[in-house]
Amino acid sequence: MATLQMSPGALARQARMVRHLSTLAPNEGYTLCGLPGVKFMRTNRTSVRAPVLYEPCIVIVCQGHKRGWLGDSSFDYHAQQFLVLSVPLPFEGETVRASEAEPMLAISIGIDLQMAAELALAVDQARPQAEAPAAPRGIMASPLDDALGDAVLRLLEALNSPLETQLLAPAIRREILFRVLTGDQGGALRAALAHQSQFGKIGKALRRIHAHYHTAIDVATLAGEAGMSVAAFHASFKAVTMTSPIQYLKTTRLHKARLLMVQDGLSAAGASGRVGYESTSQFSREFKRFFGRTPLEEARQMRSLLAQSPGAQPGRYVSAQ
C-alpha cells in the first residue's frame, strides 16, 4: 500500500506526536494515563492476524500501520489516520508495519456516550442536516485533517503534565469528539446514539450484550427490545457487525473469559462459569477454535507478553494487538 502524502505542516505535526507518544508509551501494549478512557498503544514488532474486541472509541495512529478485517472486508489504518468504532465490535487485526526503531504508536480515546449525545444534539440543532447522511458503518478509517490533528497534538501535550491533564485535557477530549461528530464519520456516531434508527437500535442491543454477557440472553428478547421481528433484527444486526447475534455473544464471552484468566488468574473452569458457560469442556473447545490455543496456553502467552511489558495494561475489552 502506498504511503499517504502529507503536507509539510502535517509531517511536522506527526513528528511532534511521535515524540510525545514515545515518552507517554515507553512499553509495548497499552499504557493508561491520568485522563479516564484514554490510553496509549505501542507495538515494536509486526503481528499476525488475530481476534480483537474494542469498545466504542476513536483510535488515532501516529506511526506505523495496522490492518483489520470485519467479515470479508478489510480496512487499513496508519500514520495520520483515525479509526472510529461507533459500537463495540469484534474483528480481526494485525500490525503490518512496526519495529524497535519505528514502533506502531497510537492513542485510543473512549467515546463517552452521554457527552457524544449532548454534542450531537447541539450540533444537529445548530447545523441541521442538508441531506441524508450515508448509511452508517460500525467501523471505518479516515484521514486526519488539520483541525482534528491539531486537537490530538494539544491533547498529547497536555497529557505530559499532571496539572494540564486535570484542567485542560477534558476540554480537548470534548473538542476531539466534536471534530469527529462534525466530520465524515459523524453520521455513524449520531446514528448509533439515535434509538429510533435501525443502527441505533442495534447499538443499544450491543451495549446490552456487553453489560449482561454472563446472563442468559436470547435473540427474541433482544429483537423485542429493539421493536423488530426476529428476522429483521438478524438482518440489521449482521449488517452492522458482519456476524450473527449468537456468534457475537459467544465472541464477547470468550474475550471476557480470556481477560479474567489473564488479569484475575481464574482457571478455565472459573472463567467459563463467570461468563455464562454451563459446560467447561464446551468452553475449552470453542476457546481453542477461536484463539488457536487452549485456555491455559493462551493465558500463559498473554501473561508472558504482559511480563515483558510492565506498562501494558489491557483495557475494558481484550485486545492483544
Q: What is the pLDDT of residues 199-216, one digit of tens each?
A: 888 888 998 999 899 999
Residue 108 pLDDT: 95
Using the predicted structure, report yes or no on whether residue 117 has a pLDDT greater than 90. no
For 149-181, the pLDDT digits (tens) are: 999 999 999 999 999 999 999 999 999 999 998
92-118 average pLDDT score: 91
pLDDT at residue 195 tops 70:
no
Rounded to an integer, the average pLDDT of 179-197 is 80
Residue 320's pLDDT is 35
Burial (CB count <10 Å: 0-12, 13-18, 19+), residue 234: middle
Q: How confident is the model at residue 317 (pLDDT cuts 50, 70, 90)?
A: very low
Q: Which fold has domain 8-193?
A: Jelly Rolls (2.60.120)
Query: Residue 2: its pLDDT value, please?
Result: 42
CB of 210 within 8 A of CB of 141?
no
Residue 135 gets which letter from DSSP?
P
For the chain, domain boundaries: 8-193, 198-308
Task: Provide, rounded to the nearest whole percent, the portion of the chain with pLDDT above 90.
Answer: 52
What are 17-65's pLDDT values in tens digits? 999 999 999 988 889 999 999 999 999 999 888 888 888 899 999 999 9
Residue 137, SS3 per DSSP: coil
Q: Domain 198-308's class?
A: mainly alpha
Where is pLDDT greater, at 67 or 168? Answer: 168
Model confidence pTM above 0.85: no
Residue closest to 97 by CA, chosen among 78, 114, 116: 78
Q: State the Cα angle at 74 between 71 and 79, rounded to 5°.
A: 140
Residue among 154, 175, 151 at smallest CA distance from 165: 154
d(Cα 139, Cα 161) in Å, to the nearest integer? 32
**pLDDT at position 16:** 96
- The answer on pLDDT for 314 being more than 50 is no
pLDDT value at residue 321 = 35
- Who wins on pLDDT, 71 or 256? 256
Q: What is the rounded average pLDDT for all residues in the chain?
A: 86
